Chains A and B, each alone.
Chain A
Amino acid sequence: MIVAERKPFDEILEMLAPYKRVLVLACGGCVTVCLTGGEKQADELASQLRLAARQKGMDLTVESDSITRQCDREFIEDLKTDPGQYDAVLSMACGVGVGFMSELYPETPFLPALNTTFYGANTAPGAWAEYCRGCGDCVLAWTGGICPVARCSKSLINGTCGGTNDGKCEVDSEMDCAWLLIYKRLKELGRLDEYRKIRPPRDHRTDRGRGVRRLVHEEMVELEEEESKA
């Protein structure tokens, strides 16, 4: 899932300065699961904003709404409110939601309430950690299921560097050395031969090296075209 963090309140307030009527729009997807951008957090933020506006004497009206997913066209009709009726929408979605909604409502500014941080999993109550970088060329088959691209601070692909310290990374004594984890896992699996192989440098063409990445299922595009003709 996509994990995001709430932006600092003051940054949000500064973002909203030019606007008088604002809709705080929650997203029911990943950001609800990581307890950052769901309906509850949107209602809380809306009331904090109303309070701050009153205290600072700002002319600001704030309402809130939520939608199942801001990255999917099919849920737009479930909106109780019309985003187009507001001066701006403060989106509680990840960057995908903010960007996609901006396209759907070209007349309305969509502002990010969150910083989208990583693709992660829930590791303990209230804690999430990064597991994937979306590099476009998955290596997990030969790294014991532990991603060196996402979990090694240097994204190294040929093994541990000299910065491994008591099993932790030189960057942060709380962070495991991914390559030591990979080594131990491969050893347990009897697959150290995978560690011994020299891996070629990563191909950054799949990893944002060529701009916007897309996925197109041609057969679905064709089906759609045939249906529209018929």
Chain B
Amino acid sequence: MAGRKKERFVQIKRFLTNGKVLFGSIVLLLLVFTSITAPFIAPHDPNEQDITATKRPPFWMGGGDSNHILGTDSLGRDVFSRLLYGSRVAMFVAVVGTFFAGLIGVPLALLAGFYRGAVDNLISRFVDIWISFPPILLSIVLMAVLGTGLTKVALAIILVDWTRFCRVIRGEVFNITEKDFILAAKAIALSNLRIIVKEVFPNIVPLLIVLVTLEMGIAIIVEAILSFVGLSVEASIPAWGQMIALGRLYIHQAWWIMVFPMMCIIISVFGLNLLGDGLREVLDPRLKVIEMK
């Protein structure tokens, strides 16, 4: 049908011309790229210490050299290489954390929104209680329980933020299941599971995609927060949050140690949020605003 094809074409056109989507996608691709190729393109070993070259400034400042284009930290480690390797932690935390948080939150949301009644009450209550626990403190407590380490950080993120997936998706499922085509599906006695998978789920995918981008940004931030409190990845793994926490001590003499990882985090999260925003505009201009909880 000519109408259908035209619709598709218009959709794709919108997708490619949306500035936010473009910028955000570039950031995301850059992140993926650096996280994969870090071991190959980093000029130095990120953990290689050089006591003779500590706190060297970036190459454009006096005292800097092109060997360490963004300078070195208090132990003489190359900042640039550490930033590159840090993107691996960021991506790991973002991808793994988001994926599993969604894995927990989305099915629960689907169940709650579809079956409603007692099931919804139970799940919602559970989520409410979980949310009442101040999230930062909760993640800190979890890290204290689980111990430090990269996988533990991801785990903490999953445990703290699955509720966001659950809440937002549940709201959307409620909206969808009020529509007539669900009633129609029920009327022809499709099994509930089939309805959920085939009718409900495809309709929450746009919102889900947007939520994923948001969540990835949050995961990166949480890692930074945990690093600040000293409860993040092992010291041998360079992570942006960790670099900030360490760099903070030298804010007066060597501001670059802290500022560059800050920029990395800001650009990454900004790009991801922009991507999510743009996707929301493209995929469904009628989508409601996602509330940040």
Are A and B part of the same complex? no
Which B residues form the contact surface with A (CB < 8 A)? Answer: none
